[in-house]
Amino acid sequence: MQGSHQIYNGTLQRKARWRMVRMTAVLLLLGLIQAGAQVAAQTVTISANKMPLEKVCKEIEKQTGYYFVYAKDLEKSQAVSVQLKNEELKAALNKVFDNSNLTYELVGKVVSVNTRRKAAPAQPKNESFVDTITLKGAVITEKGPLENVSISSTLSKRSTLTDVKGNYVLKGVIPGEEIIFSYVGYTTYRAKARSRELVVALEVADNELDKVVVKAYGTTTKRFTTGTIATVSGKDIENVPVQNPLLALTGRVPGIVITPLSGEASAPVKVEIRGRNSINPNFPSDPLYVIDGIPQTIMDLNNRKVEYMEPTMISSGLNQSDVYGLGGLSILFGLNPADIESIDVLQDAGATAVYGSRGANGVILITTRRGKGGGTRVTFGVSQGLTYVTKYYDMLNIKDYLQLRREAFANDGKTPSKIPGDPNYAPDLLLWDTTRNVNWQKYLYGNTGRYTRYNASLSGGNEMTNFRLSGGYSKTTDIKAVSGTNQSATFSFALDHKSANKKFTSQLTAMFVHSKTDAVLLSASYTLPPNAPDAMDSSGNLNYAAYEIAKVNFPFANLKKSNEGKNNQLQSSLDLGYLLFTGVSLVTSFKYTQSNNNSVSLVPIASKNPFSTTDQKGNNYTGNTRVSNFTVDPGITINKPVGNGAISARIGGTYQSNITQSLSINGSDYISDDLIGSLSNAPKTTTSERYGQYKYAGVYAMVNYDYAHKLFFDISARRDGSSRFGPGKQFGNFGAFGAAWIITEEEWARKAIPEFITLIKPSFNYGIVGTDGVGDYRYLSQWNSESNYTPLTNYNGLNPLVPQLQANQDFHWASSKQLSVNLLLDFWNRISVTANWWKNNTDNQLVQFPTGSFTGFDYVTANSPANVLNTGWALTLNATAIQRKDWRWQLNFQTSNSKNKLKSYPNLELSPYFTEYKIGASINDQYVYKFIGVNPQTGRFEFVDINKDGEVKTNSSVAPGTGDDDRYYTVNPIPDFQGSVRSTLRYKQVTLDLLFSCKRYWASTFLNGRIGLMQNISQYEFDHRWTTPGQITNVAKPTVSTLPSNQGDLQNSDGKFEKTNFIRLSSASIAYSIPPKTLKLAGLSSMTISLDANNLFLLTNFKGIDPELSWGGGSLPPSRTIALTLNCSF
């Protein structure tokens, strides 16, 4: 597209920004009124005269709620004399221990008491023999003892792990040497071995490097992992006003592309991690979703493409029936964001290999919140908001529209006619009211939608048992003329238990989600002439009469049609573990999910044309989809100190069985709308049924070795079996290896590297990942009583059967060789930079080879010799720009890019993809005509005639751009660049959170191949249309004539697309936390009030209303939701 055009009007931008500034200022002012209140400190009042230390500590426990832990054999009876009156806790503790031989450490609500450390004599460097000691102690947190803490010594190179009670014994320790205590999710603690006993209290990590990251069968941190895992905290998305958590990930995870199927809240969402690896466009490239360890597997019985520019299919989700008026149902629709603890995206072979073929396209792990000890806690949240359209197309008013139409007729030398059927028939010029001026966009999409969400939870427990119960409800109404609703209700339950001896552990999880969606799908009627008749007549019926008089097709029939979907989804799991002996446990898990979806689309007689003589009967389209998954995963885990490090391993197996079945019933010939909701009263019914069963089995082993907290090695191997392959081809062997090195933990590095560089960690992993994405039972002959969804006629009273596909038992696993190289840097413990580079080679591609019609089949499934190379990079920066008592400003920046190409394909010219792909080119490329512009003399569009034959046309039987095919130019829907910036600024009790996203890519514009017909166009096209010879422009002259078919088409050229850049304020939140002093008076433990919004503004060069919007065919225009949220707990 030539030139650039700023779609947002400058005046409107300034007004919108001013409104936002005023709103922000008001909210900040309200927050600052109370933000000056100081946090109330715990105070202590004690009068002690030679009182035993333990008694003094117990009195402090009563007054503050803190509790004390002591080193083993520590003398607790020593006398303490102290006078305290309303003394702050820390000052009180200082006075209690000031004149004793003891010291303390405060971690959370735990006070750890140790013998006061004495300086140890320096160790001779060249001494051949040094006395050693046995160091004993315990590791605790504010939640209690901590098991499997890694403990190592720096000089003697000894290591051990804590037991189930948090105790440890470390032999051979050199007095005075440094001991390192490390555990996932806690800040690493270093201490000198100055005595034989050492009790350590670990603090929960508050930095990005040491926060918990969920991986397969466990947890890790960014500091220790060898794979690429991106984590989004549940706190970051719980107030984002969406009903599908996947949509909240946009701009928060590098290397991931998220594409909604439509504007409907419940619609499926396509997620592609690190680009496309397969040349087969007929199967989704979605990742594996795992909720609390439960794989969300669905057999895709019915896939659909998103739009013209989307090269691959998208799963229909939980609706696999033929009734897809709502566009399917996303797996995660209705999942309560308040229940989510974290979402972790596993992106490379090192992170996903243990999931086998199920994780070939990446894995998204969703971990829900669980109960925590320390007393019963109740939380409650409510959110109310409004949704409205952010911008409408700038369409023509009636004056300009009529000028355009008359100009089109004049350009062709034609005269408008009143006679229906005449080639020059123009009712908009000669029959309809030429003073009428309707904005059809506002009529169809001008309502204000509403957003509502409630959630509550009850949690608590003790050292042995924790529980959590939660419930939630959400509802949105959309912005259409006939408003639809999206509702969901959730209930979840989590129970964790440990036996008294802490050898037996169990986790029970259950979640139920009920969702209901009803919607009216509106066609692209926004292009109607401004003077077209009303949609409804004075009686509230469809205004067919006015359109019938004009002999024009009625565009509003959908206003009387309905689409409703209901879904019940159950997620359940039971995890059991038993400690056989120190460091070795038996574990097993049982997972079961079930989904039952019912979709109904009604086409009542009231929606039909009453003037038609052939179509006067109603239809009921009903579909049902049932999905069930059962998974069992037994194994044995090992956690043992080895040398100067620790090894953790898991050996086990996985069995999964999935059944997906759909039933579609078409009830037709209804003569009354009173009965249209009943299939049993349908005069005629036809049915279509699909059934699929998928089984997966595998055995695996995964080993991690942590050497001295500086070298890390991961290795995994598995043997997968899939029911999608025939006998002898069902099993494949795959695995991965990874390593990481924290250079800054080396003694020589600490001396050589500047102090401001606090971490340097290169890592890599390499793996071979298998994929069985080929469809089910393609190796078996399949039969059906239908042909192209049409039932076959009985033959002599028998139901005939016809074969459905050409069976092939020789195709086998496809494989992808994946290499990932990573670098993690940290500066001043405040700025971290993560760089990732990947390279994936995928061969043995599973494809559908076309076969000659004489075989009776269109294709046969087989392995292709094609090799696809996928490379890319991602960069993430986290920084704490300001860290002070009252101020904290955190910044996050991320960007990524991925590219693929067909690296090789022997005998491509003999393959089914000869007309789609080129060796060395991207498999996402779309081949189109090259747009030159508008001929200055004729006013017609012109395109490059690459073969100079005088014609511009398409020949789909040859390679693009060869022979007589002129589609040599390419556009690619995959972004050249995408990124985001997040800013979180806190001042005392006020937090402002902003998320900006940006992208550069080919976007489809609104430009028409022909203007001047009986349909409205944009003001841009009107202002830039060709009117006089010699004019240079990119919009052709108006015409009512049919364009030549052999001179190209704008819709199939790069002129339809525009290289677009945009920056969007994707989400914003300003929150105020009530000060603790006020909370105490109200009997609350926390309360936060926030104003949350999405899609606040957009800056772009795009000629349209939104570059990410595929608007047309009924899709909703861009909208904005602003919600007020209250969260509290007590």
Cα–Cα distances in Å, from 293 out to 517, 591, 731, 990? Answer: 28, 8, 24, 36
Helix (H) or strand (E) holding 638: strand 635-642
User: Residue 1075's pLDDT is what?
Assistant: 92
Cα separation of 488 and 568, whole Å? Answer: 10
Q: Is the pLDDT of residue 432 over 60?
A: yes
865-896 tens-digit pLDDT? 899 999 999 999 999 999 888 999 999 999 99
Token readout for 541 is 């019926």
What is the arithmetic mean of pLDDT over 897-902? Answer: 93
Mean pLDDT of the 324-346 span: 88
Range scoring the smallest mean pLDDT among 352-361, 455-464, 721-730, 1088-1097: 352-361
pLDDT value, residue 736? 93
Lowest mean pLDDT among 323-337, 444-458, 616-630, 822-836: 323-337
Least confident of 99-103, 498-502, 612-616, 1096-1100: 99-103
In the prediction, which pLDDT does 6 show? 37
Alpha-carbon span 557 to 534, nearest angstrom: 12
Contact 507, 418 (CB under 8 A): no
Cα–Cα dist 133/195, whole Å? 9
pLDDT band of residue 82 (cuts 50, 70, 90) is confident
Average the pLDDT over 437-464 and give the result: 91
Say whether pLDDT at 1113 is over 60: no
Model confidence band, residue 991 (pLDDT cutoffs 50, 70, 90)? very high
Q: Does the structure show a pLDDT above 70 at 534?
A: yes
Q: How would DSSP label each residue in 278-293?
A: -S-TTS--PPEEEETT
Side-chain half-sphere of 1083: how many Cα atoms within 13 Å?
1
Range with the poorest average pLDDT among 309-318, 455-464, 565-574, 685-694? 309-318
Spatial separation of the C-alpha atoms in residues 836 and 871, rounded to whole Å: 11
Whether residue 1110 has pLDDT greater than 60 = no
Q: How confident is the model at residue 523 (pLDDT cuts 50, 70, 90)?
A: low
Return the pLDDT at 37: 32
To the nearest 10 degrees (0 to 180), the angle between helices 89-97 and 53-64 is: 180
Residues 44 and 31: their CA atoms lie apart, in Å, by: 31
Those residues with Cβ within 8 angstroms of residue 950's Cβ, 6 or more apart along the chain or in another chain:
none
Tokens linked to 1005: 């514009």
What does the pLDDT look like over 705-727, one tens digit per residue? 999 889 999 999 999 999 999 99
Residue 851 has pLDDT above 90, yes or no: no
Mean pLDDT on 647-669: 94
pLDDT classification of 524: cutoffs 50, 70, 90: low
pLDDT confidence of residue 183: 85
Is residue 625 helix, strand or coil? strand
- The pLDDT of 89-117, averaged and rounded, is 76
pTM for this predicted structure: 0.82
Q: Which two tokens stand for residue 244?
A: 């599908």
Strand partners, 546: none
| 149: its two tokens | 């803490």
State the Cα–Cα distance between residues 657 and 668, nearest whole angstrom: 36
Q: Domains in the chain, start-ordered, CATH in brackets?
A: 41-116 (3.55.50.30), 122-204 (2.60.40.1120), 230-374 (2.170.130.10)
Which of 62-76, 327-341, 379-393, 1034-1048 shows the lowest per-residue confidence on average (mean pLDDT)?
62-76
Q: In what helix (H) or strand (E) does residue 54 lie, and over which residues does it extend?
A: helix 53-64
Give residue 304's pLDDT band: very low, low, confident or very high (50, 70, 90): low
pLDDT for the residue numbered 409: 97
574 confidence band (pLDDT: 50, 70, 90): very high
CB 637 within 8 A of CB 581: no
- For residue 494, what pLDDT is reported? 96
Q: Which of 44-53, 174-183, 487-496, 560-569 has the lowest mean pLDDT?
A: 44-53
pLDDT in tens, 1060-1083: 999 999 999 999 999 988 988 888
For residue 28, pLDDT beyond 60: no
Higher pLDDT, 210 or 1122: 1122
- Mean pLDDT score, 229-256: 89
- The answer to whether 971 touches 1001, Cβ cutoff 8 Å, is no
Q: Residue 678 burial by CB count (10 A; 0-12/13-18/19+): exposed, middle or buried?
A: exposed
Mean predicted lDDT score pLDDT of the chain:
86
| 3-class secondary-structure state, position 712 | strand
Q: Tell me what the mean pLDDT of segment 334-357 comes to.
A: 88
Predicted pLDDT at 992: 97
pLDDT at site 458: 95
How many Å apart are CA 456 and CA 336, to the nearest integer?
11
The predicted structure's pLDDT at residue 311: 58
Highest-scoring range by mean pLDDT, 84-88, 660-664, 1109-1113: 660-664
Q: If residue 889 lies in a helix (H) or strand (E), which one and from where to where?
A: strand 887-904
Share of the chain above pLDDT 90, in %: 49
User: Is residue 125 pLDDT above 60, yes or no?
Assistant: no
| β-strand partners of 924 | none
Sole residue written with tokens 């909720």: 291
Upper half-sphere CA count for residue 369 (Cβ side, 13 Å): 24
Residue 41 has pLDDT above 70, yes or no: no
What is the pLDDT confidence band of residue 484, given thresholds at 50, 70 and 90?
confident
Burial status of residue 412 (CB atoms within 10 A of its CB: 0-12, 13-18, 19 or more):
middle
Alpha-carbon gap, residue 1049 to 942, rounded angstroms: 9
Residue 849 clears pLDDT 90, i.e. is over it: no
Confidence of residue 783 (pLDDT cuts 50, 70, 90): confident
pLDDT at residue number 788: 66
> Rounded to an integer, what distance in angstroms lies between the CA atom of residue 301 and that of residue 691?
8
Cβ within 8 Å of residue 22, ≥6 positions away: none
Q: Which of 217, 214, 508, 213 is nearest to 356 (CA)?
A: 217
Mean pLDDT, rounded, for 639-656: 91
At 73 the pLDDT is 60
| pLDDT score of 27 | 34
Given a cut of 70, is residue 1057 above it in pLDDT? yes
Question: Do 477 and 483 contact (CB within 8 A), yes or no?
Answer: yes
The torsion region of residue 652 among left (phi > 0), alpha (psi -120 to 50) and beta comes to beta
Out of 424-433, 439-448, 779-788, pick the least confident: 779-788
Instruction: Check residue 120 and give its pLDDT.
Output: 43
**Cβ contacts of residue 31 below 8 Å, gap of 6+?**
989, 990, 1070, 1072
Inform me whether the pLDDT recorded for 160 exceeds 90.
no
